[in-house]
Structures are given as structure tokens and as C-alpha cells.
């Protein structure tokens, strides 16, 4: 009994020592999160109920900011419409394009690593540089796209200046930089067991059957992750409006993040901007919850009973 009790005490002391060391190591991260994330987030929640323009003390106004957002702010509705159009369009197009590229690049052919590098390179181009590049490509007077269209007799197009073309043009630009998504899909496809593919071929199935009944179900968790992260990232689109369109034409590309920026730093309505930020935060939480609730039942998780 005495030896057992002594071992238990030693084990407890060792655990206490390890716990103290562990807490000491994570303390800087916890303090950093509290100082730079948690406290500012909580303070922004308070500021969303105030009328504050930086130059004077915050004036508490209750729910006035939120009431204005949902009742009389026309630009809020326009920004929501533009953001959702871009988010869903870019996510769907980029997902399909990246998945098809991953299927092609998963083939075992000579020089495949070179092709993978070529298609991945656009994703490492800085966002600002990419916006400058595509502004030149879309230019109506000397842009490359209009030059190519002119060679086949098609009139010049106002890609970024047309109300019906600005969002599709930005979606096409987003597809160009889907290298990170493509790499994740490629890793998922390469992780599909060859034995499952062989079963399909032995049963006389074609590549279409292999794709529908083996590859897509096995890669469905990766698709779910990429679609969710793509939507969340698209909801925060900013540089395209700031660098390329200025929110135009006629507010058709007035993305929510850009509208929030203009309210906060151009109009100095910090309290109202905080309210806008919290509205988008709640929208994203609600959307993510609905997304999880709706699509997780259709995802195949290896080792699960479903």
C-alpha cells in the first residue's frame, strides 16, 4: 500500500509540474489573444451601440445603428447583394475549376510536376499585384482581352465598367488564383485507395463511374472544407473593389468589406461601421451553421457508420 501511494503521489507531482510548464508556455498566446483579439472584439460590440467619429467621446445611442442598417441604409442592401453574388459565383466556379484541374493533374504522365507548378503559381501572386495585372487585362482601350476579341471581330467590352459584366469579370479573376484549392483537391484525390478504383474497373465500370461512385464520395470532406472556406473568404472580398472598381458601376461591386471601410475611414462613422461589422459576423455565423446542418449529412467520413 505504501509503495502504491508513493507512486501515486509522484505521478501527481509530475502531472502538476507538467501542467505548470504547459500553462506557462501557452500564457503568451492566451495574453496575445486577449489583448489583440478578445478585448478589441468586445469593445467593438460596445462601440456598435454608439455614435463615435474618433474625434469625440462615444455617445451611446442604443439600437439606433442597427435600426438604420435594416430600415434606411440603401447601400447596405446593395453591398449584401453584390457580396453574395460574388461569393456564391466565385466559390462555385472556382470549386469546379480547381476540382477539374486536380483530376487532370492527378494523372501519371511525364512532366506532371511542371504542369502542377504552372497552375499553382497564380495563387502566390500578391493580391494587390493581381488586381493591377487584371485591371490592365480588362482595360477597354489597350487590354489584352479586348485586343484578342478585336482579332475575331467582336466589339470591345467594358468588363469592369458594365453593370452586368463586373461581377462575372471578378469571378473569372478569382478562378485564376485557385491554386491553393487545387492542391488540396489533388491531395484528396491522390489519397483515394487504388483498390476501390480497381473494383470499379473489374466490374466493367468506366472512368465516369469511378469518378461518381468512388472519387467524389471519398473526396467529399475535402469538397465540403474548400467550399466553406471559399465562401467565408469571398464574403470578405475587399481588394477587388478597392483597387479595381471603387464599388462601381452603380454600386454593383460594392462589396461589404469595402463599404464598411468607406463608412469607417472615409466617413469617420466608427460606431456605425462597428455595427456593420457585427451584422456581417452574425450573418456568417448563421450561414455557417446552416451550411453544416444541411451538407454534413451528405459527406462521407471514412470510418463512420453512415
pLDDT tens digits, 4-18: 666 655 566 666 777
For residues 143 and 233, give the distance between their C-alpha atoms in angstroms, rounded to a whole number.
28
CA 302 from chain centre, in angstroms, equals: 25
Q: Give the model's pLDDT for residue 302.
A: 60
Assign 192 a pLDDT band (cuts: 50, 70, 90).
confident
Q: What percent of the chain has pLDDT over 90?
A: 58
Whether the per-residue pLDDT at 304 is higher than 60: the answer is: no
In the numeric block, which cell numbers belong to residue 35?
A: 489583448
Mean pLDDT in residue range 56-72: 92
- Three-class secondary structure of residue 74 per DSSP: helix
- DSSP 8-state secondary structure symbol assigned to residue 50: E
Write down the residue that cell numbers 493580391 correspond to. 127
Name the strand (E) or helix (H) holding 87.
helix 74-105
Q: Are 90 and 82 in contact (CB under 8 A)?
A: no
Q: Give the model's pLDDT for residue 6.
A: 63
Model-level pTM? Answer: 0.86
Whether the per-residue pLDDT at 217 is higher than 60: the answer is: yes
For residues 275 and 273, give the distance between their C-alpha atoms in angstroms, rounded to a whole number.
5
Average pLDDT, the chain: 88
- Reading phi first (left if > 0) and then psi (alpha if -120 to 50, else beta), residue 192 is in beta
Q: Give the model's pLDDT for residue 306.
A: 47
Q: Which residues contact 176 (CB under 8 A, 6 or more apart)?
A: 122, 130, 134
User: Where do the structural domains in the chain lie, given as residue ranges?
Assistant: 2-47, 73-298
Q: Which residues contact 239 (CB under 8 A, 6 or more apart)?
A: 127, 128, 131
Q: Give the model's pLDDT for residue 129.
A: 93
Q: What is the CATH number of domain 73-298?
A: 1.10.3720.10
Whether the per-residue pLDDT at 220 is higher than 50: the answer is: yes
Amino acid at each position: 500500500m505504501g509503495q502504491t501511494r508513493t507512486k501515486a503521489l509522484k505521478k501527481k507531482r509530475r502531472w502538476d509540474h507538467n501542467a505548470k510548464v504547459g500553462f506557462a508556455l501557452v500564457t503568451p498566446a492566451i495574453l496575445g489573444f486577449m489583448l489583440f483579439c478578445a478585448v478589441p472584439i468586445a469593445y467593438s460590440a460596445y462601440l456598435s451601440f454608439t455614435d463615435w467619429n474618433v474625434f469625440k467621446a462615444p455617445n451611446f445611442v442604443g439600437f439606433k445603428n442597427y435600426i438604420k442598417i435594416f430600415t434606411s441604409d440603401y447601400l447596405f442592401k446593395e453591398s449584401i447583394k453584390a457580396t453574395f453574388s460574388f461569393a456564391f459565383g466565385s466559390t462555385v466556379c472556382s470549386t469546379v475549376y480547381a476540382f477539374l484541374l486536380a483530376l487532370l493533374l492527378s494523372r501519371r504522365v511525364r512532366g506532371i510536376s511542371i504542369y502542377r507548378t504552372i497552375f499553382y503559381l497564380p495563387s502566390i501572386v500578391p493580391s494587390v499585384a493581381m488586381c493591377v495585372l487584371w485591371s490592365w487585362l480588362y482595360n477597354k482601350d489597350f487590354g489584352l482581352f479586348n485586343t484578342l476579341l478585336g482579332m475575331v471581330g467582336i466589339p470591345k467590352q467594358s468588363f469592369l465598367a458594365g453593370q452586368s459584366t463586373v461581377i462575372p469579370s471578378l469571378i473569372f479573376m478569382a478562378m485564376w488564383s485557385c491554386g491553393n484549392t487545387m492542391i488540396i483537391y489533388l491531395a484528396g484525390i491522390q489519397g483515394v485507395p487504388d483498390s476501390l478504383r480497381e473494383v470499379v474497373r473489374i466490374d466493367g465500370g468506366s472512368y465516369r463511374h469511378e469518378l461518381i461512385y468512388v472519387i467524389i464520395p471519398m473526396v467529399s470532406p475535402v469538397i465540403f472544407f474548400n467550399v466553406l472556406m471559399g465562401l467565408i473568404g469571398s464574403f470578405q472580398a475587399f481588394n477587388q473593389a478597392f483597387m479595381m472598381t471603387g464599388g462601381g458601376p452603380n454600386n454593383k461591386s460594392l462589396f461589404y468589406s469595402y463599404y464598411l471601410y468607406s463608412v469607417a475611414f472615409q466617413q469617420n462613422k466608427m460606431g456605425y461601421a462597428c455595427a456593420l461589422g457585427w451584422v456581417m459576423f452574425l450573418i456568417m455565423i448563421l450561414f455557417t451553421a446552416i451550411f453544416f446542418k444541411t451538407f454534413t449529412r451528405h459527406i462521407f467520413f471514412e470510418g463512420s457508420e453512415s
